[in-house]
Structure 1
Amino acid sequence: MLVKRRILPLIVIAQFCCTSLWFAGNAVMNNLITNFQLPEETLGLLTSAVQFGFILGTLLFAILSIADRFSPSKVFFLSALGGALFNLTSIYSQNTIESLLLLRFFVGFFLAGIYPIGMKIATDFFQKGLGKSLGFLVGALVIGTAFPHLLKSLTANLPWKSVLIGTSILTVLGGLLIQFFVPDGPFRSASKSIDLKSFLKVFRNKNFRSSAFGYFGHMWELYSFWAFVPVMLELYAEIHQTSFRFSLWSFLIIGVGGLACVLGGFIAEKKGTKKTAISALALSGICCLVSPLFFSINSVEIFIAFLLFWGIMVVADSPLFSTLVAQNADPEVKGTALTIVNCLGYSITIFSILLLNFLAETTNSTAIFMILAIGPILGLIALRKKFD
């Protein structure tokens, strides 16, 4: 019991440290554009490069059943070292748009050995209370994702490279925590061979398929919202001729979702995982649809409050979908199933990010954020049937 009590905090801390890589480039995006003379559409390109790397990484990990054939803790550790190295290399003064795209791609690739593997480690330790455990874990992902924005705000008087250096150091520390203090879990079912059929076999389960499709709808909205929070803040400031601390508020709007993930796990224990996930997905979809209204309100306080609420709802269902996926996957391919769903989910984020990026470059209309509602609507349709 004592071991299990310390395992979850260690995984959570490691996940926070390592996922700080995800938006490290976004936090210094304006600096990258200025210092390397990059095109204005760089936000969408570099964000999508990370997503694309994550997708190919999860695809490879799933096909080769890496999470089920090898020690998850070792995979996590080696991935943390690789991600930290490529993140740090982004500070090289001779980088170009091509090299930065490649570096961010490899950061995403190694994140495939961090986020889904972290969930796999948690499922190997916790069967009872899995939803609550994953709530803490995804909460760590959210705060880790937001952290570079806070680091940028706190180091405003330091060189912009300090954000990339700091997140790389954090990532190495996170990897070391897992390597030396988190052994393989007691519920791990190791697979000794590659089963190429498992990539498709997992979707034969109706309940698993419904959970996965709900997750896919959630993912259409999630990373586009996170990527464009600074853009939303700047757009509002431009419309109403005001200013505020964009980096700090970006961190708070994204990071508040971490608390929502934890709270959602507790609520799900009383109200049910599927019901709680559906409620959060519906509310985030409504936020997408009404977002133009809040851009028109000349009150910074109301606009920030709306984005904070959206930041809560947009990710509160994430650990719940991961719980549904894990609970409805066959035990011997659970790690592969989680990785496959992550792979496909993050594939979807590329399309929504690039579409939103294109619309942001071609129009100043605040109605463009309404397209994020497509995901929640389709996700709710997928979840409408009862599980067996």
Structure 2
Amino acid sequence: MSPGATSDMAPGRWSALVWLALAVFLAMSPWFSAAAILPHLRALWMLTDGAAAWLTLAVQLGFVAGAVLSAALNLADRATPQRLILAGALLAGVANLGLLVADGPIFAMLLRGLTGAALALVYPPALKAMSAWFRTGRGVALGVMVGALTLGSALPHLVNGLGGANWRAVIVITSLLAAVGGLIAWHVRPGPYQAPAAAFQPARAWQLLTGGRMGRVTLGYLGHMWELYALWAWYAAFFSQMWSAHHLPDPARGAAFATFAVIGIGAIGCYVGGVLGDRWGRARLTVLALGLSGSCALILAGLVGAGAGLPLLLAVSLVWGFWIIADSAQFSTLASELVDPAYVGTALTAQLALGFSLTAASIAVVPVLMRAWGWPGAFVVLALGPLVGAIAMRPLIRTGSKWGVGQATPPGGAQEPGLGQVITRKNSGG
């Protein structure tokens, strides 16, 4: 253990991690509630493929709008994260419940957009709140947080699989879970490393993400996001089609359970990614995860084209689901370590806003690609994202030696951990 490391281990940090992770897991559950019940909504409202896609896209676009506004106002650095999480979770739950009275896709899209905007007050502040509890081992801590997000995103598919045709139960349960998550976060006290409230600087977000090493981190994160939510949003439709092609009964139910497994296994990937990021270095871990997830996309494309059986398709999909999210928290951790501490919340929110803007494009393009070239063509295009991301991140591995500790000064003037310290660590504790 390096000198002074014990002073970086705040008492109660593991308890805070457990409660905040549980809060995120519950609060983010409305995110994919509409995607989980999409077959029911298609039948109810006679939705076209385009309208069905917009129901999913509306959440992404709403999140982007909420995150952009939050970043411009520096909300995550000017307000208590716990208050933002509570407000966002309650608003998301109410907007999600609105689907019960929606009379058509237009109103439903507006509600889904509002749900996404509300969740922009949950996820970035939760990452900042956890950063205030951890200095050493932050990669693992944020990995657990993103793992909670992953499980929360998978939860509606499990509820749908268990609930069968009762799609209203999915909406009610996920809305209630969001409210409970917000209340849990409200009772978690602030961490000891929380920076004082920042000054209002609307242009700060863009400056934080585009300078020097953070520019490469941002590009790597965008490559990661290009494939992530496209897989999460469309996997149920893909596996349902594969299920039907094998003439098996109840494809919607089978796809619901498969999708829960493929998304949910990413929670383990987040933890493993955090451990490896703290031990090996964050850039090295991100390049590994991007390479493996992109390879899985290409392998799955080949298997579908060759008419492979469901067990093999699901096995490769599970590996993809594991590695596609394993690097996500490490991009957030890099942002929290490389930028001015007073604007960590703004940087995280802006990073997410850019990433989710790109997910809207990738989600929209998947059905177009699928109609033109089938699922193999769609998977090949998704693999381009991690390729670009790995190319962007690879030079950061070579910037510092494994044991080196460099120093640099970020735009905000605060001391930034050197890349040798951030990218690779001597201690397994980060």
TM-score interval, normalised by the smaller of the two chains:
over 0.9
Residue pair 1:41, 1:361 contacting (<8 A) in 2 also: no
The within-5 A match list for 1:158-173 is: 159-173=166-180
Matching residue of 2:43: 34
Matching residue of 1:298: 308
Give the superposition deviation at 1:363. Answer: 5.0
Q: Distance in 1 between matches of 2:311 and 2:210?
A: 48
Give the superposition deviation at 1:291. Answer: 2.0
Letter in 2 for 1:313: W
Matching residue of 1:338: 348
Matching residue of 2:297: 288
Residue pair 1:147, 1:251 contacting (<8 A) in 2 also: yes
**Residues 1:126 and 2:146 are matched in the alignment:** no
CA distance 1:192–1:203, change in 2 (3 Å): closer
Letter in 2 for 1:233: F
Letter in 2 for 1:83: A
Query: In terms of mean alpha carbon deviation, does 194-203 or 206-215 score higher?
Result: 194-203
**Residues 1:8 and 2:17 are matched in the alignment:** yes
Residue pair 2:198, 2:342 contacting (<8 A) in 1 also: no
Matching residue of 1:72: 81
Matching residue of 2:288: 279
Paired residues in the alignment total 385
* CA deviation profile, 1:76-125 (whole Å, cap 9, x unmatched): 10111100000011111x52111011000000001100111110111111
Picking from 315, 319, 329, the partner of 1:319 is: 329
The within-5 A match list for 1:1-388 is: 3-92=12-101, 94-156=102-164, 159-179=166-186, 181-242=187-248, 245-295=254-304, 296-386=306-396, 387=399, 388=419
Q: Distance in 2 between matches of 1:315 and 1:348?
A: 16
Query: In terms of mean alpha carbon deviation, does 297-306 or 276-285 score higher?
Result: 297-306
Highest RCO, 1 vs 2 (Cα 8 Å, sep ≥ 6): 1
Q: Distance in 2 between matches of 1:204 and 1:314?
A: 24
Letter in 1 for 2:31: W
Letter in 2 for 1:28: I
Query: In terms of mean alpha carbon deviation, does 187-196 or 222-231 score higher?
Result: 187-196
- What secondary structure does 2:362 align onto? helix
Structure 2: segments with no counterpart, 5+ residues: 1-9, 400-418, 420-430
Q: Distance in 2 between matches of 1:351 and 1:61?
A: 21
Q: Distance in 1 between matches of 2:367 and 2:125?
A: 30
Residue pair 2:284, 2:394 contacting (<8 A) in 1 also: no
Letter in 1 for 2:89: A
Paired-residue identity, %: 32
Give the superposition deviation at 1:362. Answer: 4.5
* TM-score (normalizing by structure 1): 0.95
Q: Distance in 2 between matches of 1:375 and 1:26?
A: 23
Residue pair 1:152, 1:160 contacting (<8 A) in 2 also: yes
Matching residue of 2:423: none
Give the superposition deviation at 1:194. Answer: 1.2
Runs of 4+ in 1 over 4 A off after TM superposition: none
Give the superposition deviation at 1:235. Answer: 2.6
CA distance 1:298–1:210, change in 2 (3 Å): closer
Structure 1: segments with no counterpart, 5+ residues: none
Letter in 1 for 2:224: H
RMSD: 1.6
* TM-score (normalizing by structure 2): 0.86
Q: Distance in 2 between matches of 1:238 and 1:153?
A: 16
Give the superposition deviation at 1:297. Answer: 4.0
CA distance 1:113–1:365, change in 2 (3 Å): closer
